[in-house]
Amino acid sequence: AQTVTQSQPEMSVQEAETVTLSCTYDTSESDYYLFWYKQPPSRQMILVIRQEAYKQQNATENRFSVNFQKAAKSFSLKISDSQLGDAAMYFCAYRSALSGGSNYKLTFGKGTLLTVNP
Amino acid sequence: KAGVTQTPRYLIKTRGQQVTLSCSPISGHRSVSWYQQTPGQGLQFLFEYFSETQRNKGNFPGRFSGRQFSNSRSEMNVSTLELGDSALYLCASSGTGTLTDTQYFGPGTRLTVL
């Protein structure tokens, strides 16, 4: 079974600074998808960024980028020019790319609570 | 396009009762997944439906069940509620139900069991 580990329960960053959230995962599969989701306090969980394991290029979405190290099974999220609205719980998630009923699910890490200080 | 909607948003029940939660996916989406979120266990997968068929089920007791209707709307039911069932229940939908899809989440239903 796959596992996802987020070793930083909490992080803080100053507004306009850069912060990196860590995520490692364990899998024996070679093809899979990785995601970062953001859940603001009492608000809906939204997708931040997605990475396909077969792509060597790191995904980027505006101020959000990832550092995907497949051999190390590491998938960190970098937030540049942090804004107050970035304050949220961030979840790293894994999904297999192998077809089969048992794979239609996301496996989440425990989350990292990000505080943005003005 | 409207997002994923879940009803009700809040529920308070007592032990032993049963509850039904509803999820309406994004228009055109055919896959619906359910997750339980608690402070202790985090986000745990409950089940996934595609075209009215359950394709995958998480490690939850049989008290947790679900179904999907022909319009892709889904319900989950929890019978004989226990205190430990208090949680935020999240529904997520995706378009074609393939593994390349991205899942989009609803706001959740906050269930409190007294």
* pLDDT score of B1 more than 80: no
Quick check: B36 and B46 in contact, CB under 8 A?
yes
Nearest to B50, CA basis, from A112, A105, A51: A105
Contact B99 A46 (CB under 8 A): no
B100 interaction partners in chain A (CB closer than 8 Å): 33, 97
In whole angstroms, what is the distance from residue A34 CA to residue B68 CA?
A: 27
User: Looking at residue B103, what DSSP letter applies?
Assistant: P
pLDDT over threshold 70, residue A102: no
pLDDT in tens, A14-61: 999 999 999 999 999 888 999 999 999 888 899 999 999 998 899 999
Closest C-alpha to B9, from A32, A21, A42: A42
Best residue of B29, B33, B43, B51 to probe chain A, by most A CBs closer than 10 Å: B43
**Does the beta carbon of B83 lie under 8 angstroms from any beta carbon of chain A?**
no
More confident residue, A91 or A96: A91
> Contact B24/B5 with Cβ under 8 angstroms?
yes
Q: Work out the minimum CA distance from A14 to partner chain B, whole angstroms.
A: 26
Tell how strand B74-78 and strand B19-24 pair up.
antiparallel
Alpha-carbon distance of A99 to A56, in angstroms, equals 22
A110 and B97 within 8 Å at the Cβ level: the answer is no
Count of H-run helices and E-run strands, chain B? 0, 11
> CA-CA distances (angstroms) from residue B81 to A51, B35, B64, B113?
38, 17, 10, 7
Q: Are strands A60-61 and A19-21 parallel, antiparallel or unpaired?
A: unpaired
CA distance B80 to chain A (A): 26
CA dist B53 and B69 (Å) reads 9
Interface contact flag, A104 B105, Cβ < 8 Å:
no
Task: Give yes or no for a contact between B47 and B56, defined as CB atoms under 8 angstroms apart.
Answer: yes
Amino acid at residue number B103: Q
Q: Does B60 touch chain A (CB under 8 A)?
A: no
pLDDT of residue A43: 84
**pLDDT-derived band at B97, boundaries 50, 70, 90:** low
> What is the spatial distance between Cα A97 and Cα A103, in angstroms, rounded to a whole number?
8
DSSP string, B62-77: TTEEEEE-TTS-EEEE
In tens, the pLDDT along B60-75 reads: 999 999 999 999 999 9
